[in-house]
Amino acid sequence: MPEVSITTPRGVRLAGTFEPPAAQHPATPSGAAVLFAHGFLAERSSRGRADLLAARYRAHGFATLTIDFSGCGASDDDVVLVEHEVEDLSAASEFLADAGYPRQVLHGHSLGALVALRCPSPHVEAMVLTGAVAGPIHHPWDHILSAQQLDELARDGRTTVVDDGPGPREHNVIARRTLEAFSDVDQAALLGAVACPVLLIHGGRLVDGEEHALLTRSRVGMPHLPPGSELQVVLGADHSLIEHTDHVADRALAWLTQHLPA
């Protein structure tokens, strides 16, 4: 797969994978591409989910670009912050436009969906967001991070987290602002500023407490999104939706056929 390197305005190198469409498709306009935004402390393949989705998009006539956000995967070291990732995604969008793909879809997952919603790129014509952070979410960080990590955050403003992804990266660096980004969200302002239609896809497994809270936030936020936006629930799916990747691709492509006219 063709590897690419993208440099952000702040001088950070992003590692990515860019691939042209497998073939032209009558329902997909020329010059169209899907740009992926992975979740919190993940990497561009998202444990294979993004790779499978990208292959489906390419078969439907889209080019695809997956990137490792700064401080993640094979990209340069950096503190993982939403504002950094917004700049990363904007730089990747410009890379696509310069490569001849000015008509873009953002496909974001979890925190990557929040990054996509905050992305100011003028090239984005639609978004497909799965397990989206589309409003304030309050995680029990004291149950997720160790006492030592919480002490380091309080004392130094940052701490490290072991990276258990498939690449060579051993750890990620997070800050207090990294965690605050989940809860410090003005949903009406966030969604009201979005200029393109958005497809929100959530898992419907009720025992998945994380996804249930995210789904509730998305339902509350729907009236703030532009016309054509839609919320769909995949029954039985958890937050990752990884066991329902083909189902997600089917829904995304059907929706894009209506909202990204050729």
pLDDT tens-place string over residues 170-188: 999 999 999 999 999 999 9
Query: What is the pLDDT at residue 205?
Result: 83
Q: In 3D, which of 150, 164, 177 has the Cα closest to residue 78?
A: 177
Confidence of residue 165 (pLDDT cuts 50, 70, 90): confident
pTM of the model: 0.97
Domain covering 3-137+186-259 assigned CATH 3.60.9.10 in the classification: no
In whole angstroms, give the CA distance from residue 35 to residue 232.
21
Say yes or no to pLDDT of 209 above 80.
no
